[in-house]
Homo-oligomer: A and B are copies of this chain.
Amino acid sequence: MRRILIADDHAIVRRGLKEIILEAFPSAEITEVADAEDLINKVVKEVWDIVLSDLSMPGRSGLEALQQIKIHAPKLPVLILSVYPEDQYAIRVLKAGASGYLNKDMAPEELVNAIHKVLSGRKYITPSIAEKLATNIDLNTQGPAHARLSDREFEVLKLLAAGKSISDIASSLFLSSTTVSTYRARILAKMNLKTNADLTQYSLENNLI
């Protein structure tokens, strides 16, 4: 009989997860908690076969809870659920010791598949996450992403993040706009970001602007 712990601040989601899991594991004993504190407490005090935890919860995050769980119950498999796309959090979560990262809009069958896989001692890795893991080795440098930029690239990052247009930056640096556009492309590639909005958000979060 499996003991399954579900952590999510949304009662609706907990209920949906519970029902989906009970269909696949009718004899499972399912417990629900609504925040990371309760999640950690339950893991410390009792033995579980698997934890399914939301990534974003009020107070301490699911990622923090994951780190604590790995301290107290290193062998306990943890599946992290999130509304965020994989490219934002999957690697970070897997590095922290999760057995899998699931997006909340996934089909119930896939969720059940993931639980089966993890309960059998394996990790649940989607092909797109596998690809990111393969490329992440090269990005596995210490320090913030912007530390990987050349001086010129860093200069251009800050101007782009502040909202300067390519042509404005080209004028002020006495370059052609295609040069600045190339810098932008290199910056995005090195920092594994996609859009100017990503650059702005990153720069705000890292106090670059």
Contacts and interface: CB of A to CB of B under 8 A. Distances in A.
Interface of A: 9-20, 83, 104-108, 111, 160-165, 194-198, 200-201, 204
Chain A binding site: helix, strand, loop or mixed by DSSP?
A: helix
7 contacts: A12-B108, A15-B19, A16-B16, A16-B17, A163-B195, A196-B200, A197-B197
Contacts of A107: 11
Contacts of A163: 194-198
Contacts of A108: 11-12, 15
Nearest to A57: B105
B105 A10 contact: yes
A105 B198 CA distance: 28
| Best-buried of A16, A198, A204 by chain B (most CB within 10 Å) | A16
Lowest 5 A-B CB distances belong to which pairs?
A16-B16, A163-B197, A163-B195, A15-B16, A12-B16
B196 A104 contact: no
